[in-house]
Structure 1
Amino acid sequence: MTRLLLGVTLERICKAVLLLCLLHFVIIMILYFDVYAQHLDFFSRFNARNGSRAHPFSNSSRPNGTAASYGAAGAEPPSASARPGANHSSTEKPLQPCQEVPPGLVGRLLIEFSSPMSMERVQRENPDVRRGGKYSPQDCVPRQKVAILIPFRHREHHLKYWLHYLHPILRRQKVAYGIYIINQFGEDTFNRAKLLNVGFLEALKDDEEYDCFIFSDVDLIPMDDRNLYRCYEQPRHFAVGMDKFGFRLPYAGYFGGVSGLSKSQFLKINGFPNEYWGWGGEDDDIFNRISLNGMKVSRPDIRIGRYRMIKHERDKHNEPNPQRFTKIQNTKMTMKRDGISSLQYRVVEVSRQPLYTNVTVEIGRPPPRLARG
């Protein structure tokens, strides 16, 4: 009986060993064919590359495989390898759309403003950014083309930190973007919303393919690169939790700091109001315009929508607007006549810097206030 059991056990062990050997053989064959296929792919690409060098005007050397129009005068007909039905393999695969959530994001970021910053350093850190502050990913097709607009005056120190942090974040987010600094000319009262209206039009003059617009203050830096700078089905408020507010929303209708609207959303609300001179009120007016046009504000999770603000004193000629509360109550009556449709300004200068495009504009001055009593 013992011998019988021993024999059965040995038989089972032999079968198990045989199965392991068979499994090992199958795995080896799979790896072999995989390596063999990679070698074939390498040699085919190598031959195709050499072929394109030998025939620089062949179809394979053109971007996206665009064929020349050989019916025109002086154009040569395609070679046999480029004709339909020929045994011809493409040299490069077409780029795929960028992923909804890019794989290179790092999440929570350490943001600090104590280290000295210079434009030269930021430029060295971002060699892939083209002149004018433009960038597009090379390994995938971006889903949107984004113009980032910053209302500006006398904030060069803040701008260096903003560019230092935002360029790498936007590149990791696989965004095709351009950065526009809308600089108010002169020393009259500051008008944030009117500058953003100007930025919308000037960015479209520069590139009519922009379909998303991010409106950002220069002193606000996102603390998480999962806060994706793109447009959504509803207008987007990005700066959900600022450090100055204890990383929480100050009130439900708050729409300040950093926001984003698609081209169609922006035009639907007639852009931003032009008559908010001085600090405050325009972001509440924008929130009212969005609500009155049947849209809702979307926001990221409070843990992702955190921002650090560069501390500073209030700018001269940007004092609180005493008329802001009255104007906010009248949005429904004013939004059709006061906005992008009534915008007037004069471009003083447009200069393309290595990391951004500067648009200096004259936007006028506020109307005289009526004397009290």
Structure 2
Amino acid sequence: MTRLLLGVTLERICKAVLLLCLLHFVIIMILYFDVYAQHLDFFSRFNARNASRAHPFSNSSRPNSTAPSYGPAGAEPLSPSTKPSSNQSVTEKPLQPCQEMPPGLVGRLLIEFSSPMTMERVQRENPDVRQGGKYTPQDCLPRQKVAILIPFRHREHHLKYWLHYLHPILRRQKVAYGIYIINQYGEDTFNRAKLLNVGFLEALKDDEEYDCFIFSDVDLIPMDDRNLYRCYEQPRHFAVGMDKFGFRLPYAGYFGGVSGLSKSQFLKINGFPNEYWGWGGEDDDIFNRISLNGMKVSRPDIRIGRYRMIKHERDKHNEPNPQRFTKIQNTKMTMKRDGISSLQYRVVEVLRQPLYTNITVEIGKPPPRLARG
């Protein structure tokens, strides 16, 4: 009797073990298929994300639509083979235009020039800037494409600070931009306005989609990132209040330091004058050209348009131009024949640095009378 009871008990235990094994097997299979399904879903979403990254400016809901003009050079539209299938969900949304007032702006900035600065440090601070000093926002579609032009000679020390401050400011402003240093070759008298004319043409050769041009001296740093580096309905004067002028506009017609014109505005005034050799006068000539062509200068609020200037001695071969006052009075007669339409120069070298594009140009010599003076 005892043996019979023991046999029944063992039989029940074996059945229970078999049931537990079967239950365990079923649970394992369920978990396996669930993980397998997630695995397939992950790879489908991963492939979709890679396809959208390869074409960051394309409209994923309309794969055959035309990409905006500020997309990566040489980007191709999605081919039919990469079209999302009917049962594949698309999570990437098309980029929206950048806001008029970007949300990441800081406002008033502390600008100082006492800390040592190197190009290596500036490069580390701006890893998103592409070769040649170019940048495009990745989270929105920029409203303009801006070329920033700097007339230059022997100002490497100033350039380091300018790049250190301006690259982060421009990125916060969601600007699609390229920075061009227009370096005057040789040691003849400096000609700021002619260099800016050269910069306008050379920037368009590099990228014909530029529709806004900012002309900036290398020693001027904005003290507020709400001073937006873009073009407006009227020519823009950005440097309203410099510290050397007590943060006030020196006179009503002042257009110096940092200014901006759209492509159409620049061509309408025939660019800048080419015959202002030495310091002074060309800014007033440009102001006259704007007024004579029926346009008005726009400016930011004086509290936002403040600038700090890096102190320096006057450059050699950039002495005050003794003819500037006479030339300013004759703008109406000279602006149609002296400007972009009459510009002559020779490109010596183009170097695409990590933070800017350097264009060295030979722009000729000043008239002999001015050279003797």
How big is the shift at 1:151? 0.1
User: Gaps (5+ residues) in structure 2?
Assistant: none
Indicate the percent of aligned positions where both proteins have the same amino acid.
94
Paired position in structure 2 for 1:337 = 337
Q: Is the 2:237–2:298 Cα contact (8 Å) retained in structure 1?
A: yes
Q: Which runs of 4+ in 1 moved over 3 A?
A: 1-89, 370-373
How big is the shift at 1:37? 19
Paired position in structure 1 for 2:112 = 112
Q: Which digits, 9 at most, give the CA deviation of each residue in 1:172-218, with x for residues without a partner?
A: 00000000000000000000000000000000000000000000000
Q: Which digits, 9 at most, give the CA deviation of each residue in 1:332-354, with x for residues without a partner?
A: 00000000000000000000000
Moved more, 90-99 or 223-232: 90-99
Q: Is the 2:213–2:263 Cα contact (8 Å) retained in structure 1?
A: yes
Q: Is the 1:142–1:175 Cα contact (8 Å) retained in structure 2?
A: yes
Give, in whole Å, the separation in 1 of the partners of 2:58 and 2:4: 76
Q: Which digits, 9 at most, give the CA deviation of each residue in 1:300-348, with x for residues without a partner?
A: 0000000000000000000000000000000000000000000000000
Q: Is the 1:194–1:274 Cα contact (8 Å) retained in structure 2?
A: yes
Give, in whole Å, the separation in 2 of the partners of 1:329 and 1:16: 109
How big is the shift at 1:92? 1.2
Give, in whole Å, the separation in 2 of the partners of 1:20 and 1:153: 85
Give, in whole Å, the separation in 2 of the partners of 1:4 and 1:106: 88
How big is the shift at 1:368? 1.5
SS, match of residue 42 in structure 1: helix
Moved more, 322-331 or 63-72: 63-72
Give, in whole Å, the separation in 2 of the partners of 1:344 and 1:328: 22
SS, match of residue 64 in structure 1: coil
Q: Is the 2:57–2:94 Cα contact (8 Å) retained in structure 1?
A: no
Q: Is the 1:146–1:212 Cα contact (8 Å) retained in structure 2?
A: yes
Q: Is the 2:67–2:77 Cα contact (8 Å) retained in structure 1?
A: no
Task: Quickly say closer, same or farther: Cα 1:128–1:335, change in 2 above 3 A.
Answer: same
Q: Is the 2:146–2:212 Cα contact (8 Å) retained in structure 1?
A: yes
Greater C-alpha radius of gyration: 2
Q: Is the 2:231–2:262 Cα contact (8 Å) retained in structure 1?
A: yes
With the length of structure 1 as denominator, give the TM-score of the two structures: 0.80
Structure 1 vs Structure 2 CA RMSD: 12.5
Task: Quickly say closer, same or farther: Cα 1:24–1:311, change in 2 above 3 A.
Answer: farther
How big is the shift at 1:88? 4.7
Task: Quickly say closer, same or farther: Cα 1:77–1:108, change in 2 above 3 A.
Answer: closer
Q: Number of aligned pairs?
A: 373
Q: Which digits, 9 at most, give the CA deviation of each residue in 1:221-247, with x for residues without a partner?
A: 000000000000000000000000000
With the length of structure 2 as denominator, give the TM-score of the two structures: 0.80
Q: Is the 1:59–1:68 Cα contact (8 Å) retained in structure 2?
A: no
Q: Is the 1:58–1:79 Cα contact (8 Å) retained in structure 2?
A: no
SS, match of residue 64 in structure 2: helix
Q: Which digits, 9 at most, give the CA deviation of each residue in 1:247-284, with x for residues without a partner?
A: 00000000000000000000000000000000000000
User: Gaps (5+ residues) in structure 1?
Assistant: none
Give, in whole Å, the separation in 1 of the partners of 2:129 and 2:13: 64
Task: Quickly say closer, same or farther: Cα 1:81–1:241, change in 2 above 3 A.
Answer: same
Task: Quickly say closer, same or farther: Cα 1:68–1:84, change in 2 above 3 A.
Answer: farther
Q: Is the 2:63–2:77 Cα contact (8 Å) retained in structure 1?
A: no
How big is the shift at 1:364? 0.5
How big is the shift at 1:29? 34
Q: Is the 1:70–1:78 Cα contact (8 Å) retained in structure 2?
A: no
Q: Is the 2:148–2:179 Cα contact (8 Å) retained in structure 1?
A: yes
Q: Is the 1:234–1:295 Cα contact (8 Å) retained in structure 2?
A: yes
Q: Is the 2:194–2:273 Cα contact (8 Å) retained in structure 1?
A: yes
